[in-house]
Amino acid sequence: MLKGVVLAGRRNRGALAAAAPEAWEALIPIAGRPMGSLVVAALCGVREMDRVVVAGPPELGRGGALVVEPGEDVVGSLGTALAAADLGAEDELIIATGDAPLLTAAAVDEVLAGARRRSLALGYPIVSRAECERQFPGVRRTYARLREGAFTGGNCLYLRAAAVPRTLELLAWVHRHRKHPLRLASLFGFGTLLSVLVGRAGLADVEAAGSRVLRAAAGAVVTRNAGVGVDVDKSEDLDLCRRVLEARVRADGS
């Protein structure tokens, strides 16, 4: 079965607080709906989806999603949500963040198809800089320069159930050492990191490093759906997503 998790437990105490008074970032309105509810709708709209669990405020429980209390950090929230998802040994999982309102069911389907086609245990969507800027002129993202071009990472993740324990272990380690850049860099190896920084690494190099760390097949899923790569962590991101989604509502009423 396919299960979905939405991580929407971040309190609105950062850069977005001045632009929106809501207590939770996921409840900031975009095109008349809470931002996190758009992510929930995207996962619930995937035809194969069996269950969607949200770690966040109870207002996001509409549309058939199950809401659980978020943890003190993203690792705790993910652990609580996964317990509620009741993963079976052969299940697949999509994890999305609650601040990616441009995510769609079609984009999730594309990530699923790409990960399955390569028999990945972990699939991570990436979008080229050219595609991001073509679809969303003026968007500002962080890009990694690879031999194949410049890419930004997506805001969802594909996992097979067998890879979940190791992924949780890695996330806990990263969170524990998040203020120690050298320790974090050592996870993938300094040689790989240096190659990425100078733009000499290829996708295959990064995937090999990720697979070594995960101890299972990890790979990138290149997608042309740039909405996967847009999240809302500052006011200009919020303005962009509001413009895009309000234009869509005016155009087709959806």
Greatest distance between any 2 Cα atoms in the chain: 50
pLDDT at 209 over 80: yes
Residue of 124, 128, 146 whose CA lies nearest to 204: 146
∠167-173-178 over CA atoms, to 5°?
A: 120
pLDDT digits (tens, 9 = 90+) for 39-65: 999 999 999 999 999 999 999 987 789
What percent of the chain has a predicted confidence (pLDDT) above 90?
Answer: 79
Q: What pLDDT is attached to residue 178?
A: 72
Give the pLDDT band of residue 161 (cuts 50, 70, 90): very high
Find the helix packing angle between 203-214 and 181-188, rounded to 10°.
Answer: 100
| pLDDT score for 88 | 94
Domain count across the chain: 1
Q: Is pLDDT above 80 for 175? A: no
H helices of 86-234, in order, are 105-117, 129-135, 164-176, 181-188, 190-197, 203-214
Residues with Cβ within 8 Å of residue 69, at least 6 apart in sequence: 55, 80
Rounded Cα gap, residues 99 and 180, in angstroms: 26
Which amino acid would we find at residue 182?
L
Tokens in use for 242?
């509001």
Angle between helices 164-176 and 181-188 (to 10 degrees): 150
CATH number for position 51: 3.90.550.10
pLDDT at 254: 63
**Residue 11 to residue 62: CA distance in whole angstroms:** 20
More confident residue, 210 or 183: 210
3-state percent helix, strand, coil for the chain, nearest multiple of 5:
45, 20, 35
Alpha-carbon distance of 152 to 37, in angstroms, equals: 24
Q: What is the residue range of 217's domain?
A: 2-252
The two structure tokens encoding residue 29: 């309105």
Handedness of CA 127, 182, 70, 99 (dihedral sign): negative
Question: Has residue 181 got a pLDDT over 80?
Answer: no
| Numbers of helices and strands, H then E, in the chain | 9, 11
